[in-house]
Amino acid sequence: MNLLHKLSTIGLASLIVLFSVSSCTEDLPKAMDTTSKVTELKSIKIINAGANGTDVVLGTVDEKTKTVSFPRLDTLTNFQNLKFEAEVSNGAKLDKEVYPVNFEKGDSEKTIVVKVESLPRYREYLVKLRLKVPVYGADFSLATVYDFSANKGPAAVYPAFVSQMTRGTGFDGKYVLIASRGSSGIHLLDVEKLKKGDKTPIPLSIAGITGGTYTYNMAAQVNGHSYVASLSGAAASPLKLYHWASPSAAPEVVANINVSTIPGAAARHGDNFSITLDADGNGYAFFPSSTANVIRVKIEGYNKATETSLITTHINYEQWSAINQVGNTGTYIIGGHSQAISLIDASGKSSFKLGATTLPTSSGDPRIIQFNGERYLLTITIPRSAPVTSVLSVYNITRGATINDAFVAFEQGDKKPVYEFLISGAANTAPGTQSGFYVVKDAQGKDQKLMIYGATTDAGFAIIEFPVNVAKD
């Protein structure tokens, strides 16, 4: 009797609940109708482009990346009053009727955000706008790499780069110069043959090359002329500079320096070496040391040392530093493994120093490149100790009337490289590391290709080639 009573009670309660739910169904909240809140951009066009504001330009929507690209636009377009016409999801609309876009002086492209709204929902698209202006510089997206470095794996490393035997190299667009203390000796590699995989060495004569802690240690290749320097590891150990006018020429002694006769010089010079000469072979060679004192040798006609002096840099860049001339100006750029890059004059006086964190640590052998109307800074990081690796980097520093102005503008920008290439991921206690570049010109003397070069101890070298930038549309 009790069980039957309980069942009857449960059944009655169920009926009451069922009745209550049934009678209140119309009062319960319903699920949101999402079909009216879709915010997709199906197509978009600019309807007031051009000088007269009557040109219609169709954009391309990439829904996967939420981006929109347009063909290059007439510079006379009223960008303060840019109007879009878009096909969007039913019930949605663009967040604005007019989009003001500010192109600053020197800008050729701009990215703005356009929203498709169906409140409370919205979807953002990045719209890239580019001006129809002449394009300059190199196209860094079309790099051709000739890789004889650790980047490609141990088997790809040029054989002379082993056991720290090769610390000095050079590059002038036609040849790579290798100064190996091993069995391969001092030799050239033909760049055009390298491009085809032919690594046949062209030996240079070493007749009469004697003296020094290391008889030959550093190298540079300039305008078809080869230079090799010894290492002076003690005061009386000679610091020598040799010159070859061509691959078949005998070596000439350009300088034979007893560093003990130069007041203020360190005992050890020649761990690194840099040289800048004009078309007539006039300029300077620099031999840094572990102190702030640098031996400077004035060279005339490629093979005559007419003056040897000591300069002192404003801070100590140490023995792996390099000094390179900025174009044909009286300004030089210095960098090494321990200090930020600076601009100096031929006597070492500083005119500008980049911030300590502006570039990666150990950005060395810096060079300024003028190519197809743009200006670049080329660096290679010197892997003296972990975690630094050897990376060849190119930065666009076109803005600015002078190189000082360019560095100021660069520090105010995003400071990101336009191209990077890893030579080696390993550190080295004797990191002989070099950069280089060459501009290939066409029959009319116009810039055609930019070649850059990077090498480091035990890691080999790489040559990377870029074509001139051209308008894609």
The tens digit of pLDDT for each residue in 379-429 reads 999 999 999 999 999 999 999 999 999 999 999 999 999 999 999 999 999
**Mean pLDDT of all residues in 286-299:** 96
- What pLDDT does residue 28 have? 47
- pLDDT of residue 55 exceeding 60, the answer is yes
Read off the pLDDT band of 234 (50, 70, 90).
confident
Cα distances from 258 to residues 123, 266, 307, 346, in angstroms, run 72, 11, 14, 22
- What pLDDT does residue 106 have? 74
Quickly count: other Cβ atoms within 10 Å of residue 328's Cβ. Answer: 8
**Mean pLDDT of all residues in 31-56:** 84
* Percentage of the residues of the chain whose pLDDT score is greater than 70: 92
Q: List the domains of the chain with CATH numbers.
A: 37-130 (2.60.40.2340), 135-157+330-473 (no CATH), 164-312 (2.130.10.10)
- What pLDDT does residue 10 have? 41
SS3 state at 188: strand
Cα distances from 110 to residues 114, 130, 139, 198, 317, in angstroms, run 13, 6, 19, 45, 39
- pLDDT of residue 110 exceeding 70, the answer is yes
Condensed to tens digits (0 to 9), the pLDDT of residues 356-378 reads: 999 998 999 999 999 999 999 99
- What pLDDT does residue 24 have? 46
Pairing of strands 67-69, 121-130: parallel
- pLDDT of residue 112 exceeding 80, the answer is yes
Mean pLDDT of the chain: 91
Sequence letter at residue 401: A
112 compared with 11, residue with greater pLDDT: 112
- What pLDDT does residue 11 have? 44
Name the least confident of 33-47, 200-214, 380-394: 33-47
- What pLDDT does residue 105 have? 80
- What pLDDT does residue 37 have? 73
**pTM of the predicted model, to two decimals?**
0.80
Note whether 58 and 42 are within 8 A (CB).
no
34 DSSP assignment: G
- What pLDDT does residue 237 have? 86
Instruction: Quote the CA–CA distance of 263 and 101 in Å, as a whole number.
Output: 61
- What pLDDT does residue 78 have? 96
Q: Encoding tokens for residue 6?
A: 């309980």
16 compared with 270, residue with greater pLDDT: 270
Condensed to tens digits (0 to 9), the pLDDT of residues 426-473 reads: 999 999 999 999 999 999 999 999 999 999 999 999 999 999 999 877
SS3 state at 407: helix
- What pLDDT does residue 36 have? 56
- pLDDT of residue 236 exceeding 90, the answer is no
Instruction: Quote the CA–CA distance of 350 and 338 in Å, as a whole number.
Output: 16
Note whether 156 and 148 are within 8 A (CB).
yes
